[in-house]
Amino acid sequence: MSMYHTKTVTELSAMLQAGEVSSVELTRYFLDRIKNSDDKLNSFITVCEEQALAQARESDEKLKAGNAPALTGVPVAHKDIFCTDGVKTSCGSKMLDNFISPYDATVITNMRKAGVVMLGKTNMDEFAMGSSNETSYYGAVKNPWNLKAVPGGSSGGSASAVAARLAPASTGTDTGGSIRQPAAFCGITGLKPTYGRVSRFGMIAFASSLDQAGPMGQSASDCALLLNAMAGFDEKDSTSIEKSVPDYSADLDEPLAGLKIGLPKEYFDHKEGGMNADVEATVKTALEQYKSMGAELIEIELPNSNLSVPVYYVVAPAECSANLSRFDGVRYGYRCEDPKDLNDLYTRSRGEGFGAEVQRRIMVGAYALSSGYYDAYYLKAQQLRHLISDDFKKAYEKVDVIMAPVTPETAFNIGEKTDDPISMYLSDIFTIAVNLAGIPAMSIPVGFVEGMPVGMQIMGNYFEEAKLLNVAHQYQQQTDWHKQMPEEFK
């Protein structure tokens, strides 16, 4: 029996290039795993069987001809926030349950050019709003390590599918921690690149100044291969940055001697976020491992990081209320039955099409942008955002990377926080500052607490994704946390 699901993208790529396996065989294998196991997880919204096999056959032709790119024929899952030509793109919402995209997002185009096969579209929090994947119109996603627990959000389907090895890797998006937090909860590796590094064209917008797409895989070397394909300038995206893309795999083997790691005391002395002592101890053990590899640990301060949650929950809802105004029941998406007039069409289509969390954020955002409150809330939040960003700039004058926990606790149970939005928002307390500053950051698995994975966050300076990947890869050469698999999905 082939055990392809135990292999990383890096290993599968080498097998495909060497002709040890065909893309069709590999794609069928993962489609079968999805068919046999996803009813336990609910990690996919759409499985693209015919399309995947057609792409796999095409990949096999290219591999036979020789000179095919590294990812040719590798099956990958995409978060259902990326528009995919001819395939339902729902964003986890009733509002877009009937929307078949007429074009591809740039991330999808880039991945196709790299030869990736699309297995399907993964479940997510509605319009990427949530930290637990419970706000999806298609139901909650389960965590493969414990089916009663959440996988994190909003890229919970992507994280769950990779952790259960239903897909070797996936794409995700991160607005306030939505790649790193589910990666931590599910025990996989996830990277949020610098804002503007990966095109947002065709990625359905939640908060335009925060959203960033990135790779989710088993290892740092997998994420490097995927980012090579995803990153790059795109003239169709006004926030895309014109900067050449390095080979993210090139420096993975650089030794870490002399690396300066900053430890923000605000993240470790954290009492109000409910920091779990065992999670903190697990992260500290990983830091000791880095020390033994020649890195130096330096305490630093990020004095304004305590402002990140309140700032985020003004900026993100304000931008979401503007972005989601386009879903009005007129052009595409959900439309209410028999509207009496135009006003009735708008209010009922939006009231019936959006879930509770999306409605909550639209209302908060509309309030923050309204006349008389704009200066008090939105403008003030943007000023504080600069202070948060300046803290990071100062820190990177002294250190190369910053390390901290990803979350204050391991994955909580489904339903545990649904009645308490504030407690849910606080689960992103360590991830949000990164998005406000626009810097890159990743989550790597560093151990378990009571059988549930713990992630550690590595934050870098602007456009230093290669350094983060190198730092993560070196740790993964010495440890095997990233190779652990949930018992039920072995």
pLDDT digits (tens, 9 = 90+) for 40-78: 999 999 999 999 999 999 999 999 998 899 999 999 999
At residue 372, the pLDDT reads 84
- Mean pLDDT of the 409-438 span: 89
At residue 373, the pLDDT reads 86
At residue 271, the pLDDT reads 56
Whether residue 465 has pLDDT greater than 80: yes
Sign of CA dihedral 134, 136, 142, 144: negative
CA distances in angstroms from 4 to 52, 74, 112, 167, 293, listed in the order given: 17, 11, 22, 10, 32
Spatial CA neighbour of 259 closest among 224, 294, 232, 287: 294
Q: Are 141 and 157 in contact (CB under 8 A)?
A: yes
Spatial CA neighbour of 459 closest among 385, 394, 403: 403
Whether residue 422 has pLDDT greater than 80: no
Domains of the chain with CATH codes = 4-259+480-489 (3.90.1300.10)
Per-chain mean pLDDT for the chain: 95
- Give the DSSP H/E element, type plus range, for residue 361: helix 356-369
At residue 206, the pLDDT reads 94
pLDDT-derived band at 211, boundaries 50, 70, 90: very high
pLDDT-derived band at 213, boundaries 50, 70, 90: very high
Q: Return the residue matching tokens 């149970």.
A: 413
Q: State the burial class of residue 71 (Cβ atoms within 10 Å of its Cβ: 0-12, 13-18, 19+).
A: buried
How many percent of the chain have pLDDT more than 70? 99
Alpha helices in 151-196 (DSSP H): 156-163, 180-186
Please compute Rg for the chain using Cα positions: 21
Q: Tell whether omega for the bond before 154 is within 30 degrees of 0, i.e. cis.
A: yes
The angle subtended at Cα 171 by Cα 161 and Cα 105, nearest 5°, is: 135
- Mean pLDDT of the 269-278 span: 72
pLDDT-derived band at 273, boundaries 50, 70, 90: low
The pair of structure tokens assigned to 54 is 């057609």
- Mean pLDDT of the 75-91 span: 97
- Mean pLDDT of the 203-219 span: 96
At residue 419, the pLDDT reads 81
The DSSP string of 12-49 is: HHHHHHTTSS-HHHHHHHHHHHHHHHHHHH--EEEE-H
Dmax over Cα atoms in the chain, in whole Å? 70
What are the residues facing 452 on neighbouring strands?
A: 449
Q: Do β-strands 75-79 and 117-122 pair in parallel, antiparallel, or remain unpaired? A: parallel
Whether residue 109 has pLDDT greater than 70: yes
pLDDT-derived band at 270, boundaries 50, 70, 90: low
At residue 156, the pLDDT reads 97
* Residues 6 or more apart whose Cβ sits within 8 Å of residue 429: 270, 273, 308, 309, 408
Q: What share of the chain is helix, strand, coil (3-state, %, to 5)?
A: 45, 15, 40
Sign of CA dihedral 194, 195, 199, 203: positive
- Give the pLDDT confidence of 332-371 residue by residue, as tens digits: 899 999 999 999 999 999 999 999 999 999 999 999 888 8
At residue 424, the pLDDT reads 81
- Give the DSSP H/E element, type plus range, for residue 111: helix 106-113
Residue type, 489: F
Whether residue 15 has pLDDT greater than 70: yes
pLDDT-derived band at 469, boundaries 50, 70, 90: very high
More confident residue, 142 or 375: 142
How many percent of the chain have pLDDT more than 90? 90
- Give the pLDDT confidence of 391-411 residue by residue, as tens digits: 999 999 999 999 999 999 999
At residue 423, the pLDDT reads 78
At residue 272, the pLDDT reads 55
- Mean pLDDT of the 423-441 span: 91
- Give the DSSP H/E element, type plus range, for residue 173: strand 169-174
What are the residues facing 214 on neighbouring strands?
A: 172
* Residues 6 or more apart whose Cβ sits within 8 Å of residue 340: none
The pair of structure tokens assigned to 4 is 């392809």
- Mean pLDDT of the 226-238 span: 97
Sign of CA dihedral 153, 154, 159, 160: positive
Residue type, 83: C
At residue 252, the pLDDT reads 96
Write down the pTM of the prediction: 0.96
pLDDT-derived band at 193, boundaries 50, 70, 90: very high
CA distances in angstroms from 469 to 2, 220, 247, 256, listed in the order given: 29, 6, 11, 12
Whether residue 269 has pLDDT greater than 80: no
Q: State the burial class of residue 346 (Cβ atoms within 10 Å of its Cβ: 0-12, 13-18, 19+).
A: middle
SS3 category, 119: strand
Catalytic residues: 79, 154, 178
